[in-house]
Amino acid sequence: MNSVDRPAVAALAEPCANCPFRPAGSAIPLADGRLRAIAQQLIADDTRPFLCHKAAYHPKAVPGRIAECRGAQIWLRKMGFPNVPMRLAFSLGLLNPVELDGQADQVIGVEILDEGLPKE
């Protein structure tokens, strides 16, 4: 199987410019607490991918050719919680964990899980 024949595991090779998993200031604006809820859901249910908003809503999107958000993949790997689709892709050689590790500085960190919580 060559790279042309491979199914898309991530929609993009790196997080898009306004990926919700990018640090504040460059991420798409979301309602207060929304990104925290998404992050918690990703950790709580490792069977569901977080789909790329660019691939899903892009005018040139091909129906049925949506893929997981690269920012979410990098964040999940950074947090130590790769989901089932990612682990399957790792084992099939469709996704490179070392490549994700090399992009860890492009996404937020664990602080998102504490966002909005009362300080002790």
Residue 82 belongs to some domain of the structure? yes
Specify the pLDDT at position 119. 47
Q: What is the pLDDT of residue 9?
A: 72
Backbone angles phi and psi of 65, in degrees to 5: -110, 45
Q: Is residue 18 part of a domain?
A: no
Tokens representing 13 are 């090779």
Residue 119 lies in a domain: no
**What is the rounded CA–CA span in Å between residue 35 and residue 23?**
11
pLDDT in tens, 8-21: 677 678 888 889 99
Q: Is 17 among the domain residues? A: no
Decide if pLDDT at 96 tops 80: yes
**Cα–Cα distance measured from residue 5 to residue 103, given in angstroms and rounded to the nearest whole number:** 25
- Total domain count, the chain: 1
24 assigned to some structural domain: no
pLDDT of residue 56: 67
Residue in the structure block whose two tokens are 């590790």: 101
Range of the structural domain that residue 64 is part of:
34-114
pLDDT in tens, 32-76: 889 999 999 999 999 988 988 777 666 666 666 668 899 999 999
- Does some domain include residue 63? yes
Identify whether 21 is part of a domain.
no
- Which pLDDT belongs to residue 54? 76
Classify residue 42: in a domain, yes or no.
yes
Q: What is the pLDDT of residues 70-87, one digit of tens each?
A: 999 999 999 999 999 999
The confidence score (pLDDT) of residue 5 equals 45
Residues 6+ apart with CB under 8 A from 111: none
